[in-house]
């Protein structure tokens, strides 16, 4: 037996609010899409602890991951408090390894997920 009896309109509104609250909680993003400076958008999966499917260390204050390939070994660090990206590491060349020049951190912004056709 209900504790409070609502008229038709109030009951419908209450049910609609309950459904909206439940669905917005269920739709909570496990992936954040970030655009930092001129870099392509990156997908940070908070559940899998990955950035663009690469293993990452994700804490409340930072996101760190490596991008190593034949051209170099790059460490990427996002300061979640400041909203900035810093890149460090080494480029590999025929004449030796070249450190990545340190510059000002790039500003990061949250982006929408990329659009899909299907």
- Residue-wise pLDDT tens digits, 25-67: 444 469 999 999 999 999 999 999 999 999 999 999 999 999 9
Given pLDDT bands bounded at 50, 70 and 90, which one contains residue 16? very low
For the stretch 37-40, contacts whose Cβ atoms lie closer than 8 Å and that sit 24 or more positions apart, written own/partner, are 37/85, 37/106, 37/107, 37/108, 38/106, 39/85, 39/106
Report pLDDT for 5.
54
Q: pTM surpassing 0.75? A: no
Structure token digits, residue 94: 């025929």
Each domain of the chain, given as residue ranges in start order, spans 29-111
Average pLDDT, the chain: 81
């Amino acid at each position: 037996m209900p504790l409070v009896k609502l008229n038709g309109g109030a009951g419908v509104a209450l049910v609609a609010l309950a459904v909206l609250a439940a669905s917005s909680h269920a739709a909570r993003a496990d992936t954040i899409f970030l655009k930092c400076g001129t870099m392509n958008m990156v997908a940070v999966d908070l559940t899998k602890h990955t950035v663009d499917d690469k293993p990452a260390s994700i804490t409340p204050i930072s996101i760190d991951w490596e991008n190593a390939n034949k051209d170099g070994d790059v460490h990427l660090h996002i300061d979640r408090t400041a909203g900035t990206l810093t890149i460090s590491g080494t480029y590999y060349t025929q004449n030796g390894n070249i450190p990545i020049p340190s510059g000002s951190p790039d500003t990061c912004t949250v982006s929408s997920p990329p659009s899909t056709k299907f």
